[in-house]
Structure 1
Amino acid sequence: MADPIKNPTVDKFISMASSWKAEFEKLREIVLESGLTEDFKWMHPCYTLEDKNVLLIHGFKEYCAILFHKGVLLKDPHGILIQQTENVQAARQLRFTSLQEILDMELTIRAYIYEAIAIEKSGQEVVLKKATEFPVAEEFQEKLDENPALKTAFESLTPGRQRGYLLHFSQPKQSKTRTARVEKYMEHILSGKGIDDK
């Protein structure tokens, strides 16, 4: 097999990493052996198959990880895939806290990568919950009921943008915090913007 093509942006990312440098290099080596194309997206090394995202490598304070974009579809016979938060629907992580852990798990990591590639080749898709399946904070529902323009604007947003707002509005435990969040973003919604849009 020909040597894998390394993306210079990933070279720079790894050389500038303040932590997990050796772990990133080993994970990169393992992933590149699979034949995936190395790219750089979302500020991290991302690996694709025919322009479809399969996985990325990223680091946090406590661990580094491989994030499988359709990880929920992996069989996970070892029970080692982690859902980052309860709201993450498709992606799953394999987490590592040392280079030795990666070396010890190398065969397993490869097996998970090849299964992720097979899933991508098969065309399988993750069925995501619809925005209508997420709870609507009572405070937001009241605003929708009393402001038809807001309701129309919200319903015109993409499902992903709707989901973002519904999750953000329903997270706080206190009603006054939920109300403040709703009021803060009403103009955003009326302008057709998602929660992270400027």
Structure 2
Amino acid sequence: MKKISSVEEYIENHAQFGESLNILRDIINITELEETIKWSSPVYALDGKNVVGLGAFKNHFGIWFFNGVFLKDGNKLLEQAQEKTKGLRQMRFNSIDDIDKNIVLAYIKEAIENQKLGKEIKPERKGKSVTIPKELLNELNANSALFDAFKLLTLGKQREYCEHIETAKKNATKLSRIEKIKPMILKGIGLHDKYKNC
């Protein structure tokens, strides 16, 4: 797909909806949003944060709301594009007659206000769960104080201890490592805390 360098070029490439896209563009440009091109499509941002985008497809065109999940959607105009898109919502149109300028502008203004309030879906951090090696799990199950202390540690500290045990090749090494870390866990300190405080 050819790289688009301007909004005009994008609209020219979707000539069947050209007039409609220009109407939506004019509505968006009434606001304080800054017009840019990202991913070869028109995107409108506030302080560098994407708020809305224009899109044209084979049989429809519309506006993307990057954090549309927070919009009230009193007119029931928003669609979730795909199941995996958590925040993104789309306002689709099939023809120029579907566009109600006042309603579209109200949605855009609400999206801008939400952005100013900091309402946005934060990307999920990968690897939230911790896999506890069986040797450490046995020790935790046998010692309730140790178990409670381990659960109070941050996920990062839990993960450090689990990796420390898991990386030992011999079972005897794993068990000796567990004995060494038990007092640290009970004190609520992480495996590498002494290096972090230097």
TM-score when normalising by structure 2: 0.58
- Compute the RMSD of aligned alpha carbons: 1.8
Q: Aligned with 1:48: secondary structure? A: strand
Q: Which amino acid aligns with 1:107?
A: N
User: What is the CA distance between 1:19 and its match in structure 2?
Assistant: 2.3
Contact 2:14 2:56 in 1 (8 A): no
Match status 1:121 vs 2:116: yes
Task: State the alpha-carbon separation in 2 of the partners of residues 31 and 81 from structure 1.
Answer: 17
- Residue correspondences, number: 124
Q: Deviations over 1:13-59 (max 9, x none)?
A: 21232321111110000000012110011111110111110010001
Greater C-alpha radius of gyration: 2
Q: Report what 2:96 is aligned to.
A: 99
Query: Does 1:19 pair with 2:25?
Result: no
Q: Find the residue that maps to 1:20 and give its secondary structure.
A: helix
1:84 corresponds to which of 81, 84, 89: 81
Residue 109 of structure 1, CA deviation: 0.5
Equivalent position amino acid for 2:75 in 1:
H
Runs in 1 of length 4+ with deviation above 3 angstroms? 127-133
SS in 1 for 2:98: helix
Structure 2: gaps spanning 5 or more residues? 129-198
Measured after TM superposition, the shift of residue 110 of structure 1 is: 0.5
Structure 1 residues without counterparts, runs of 5 or longer: 1-7, 134-198
Q: Which amino acid aligns with 2:54?
A: I
| Percent identity between the two aligned chains | 34
CA distance in 2, matches of 1:48, 1:62: 26
Amino acid at match of 1:10: V
Please name the residue that 1:150 is paired with. none
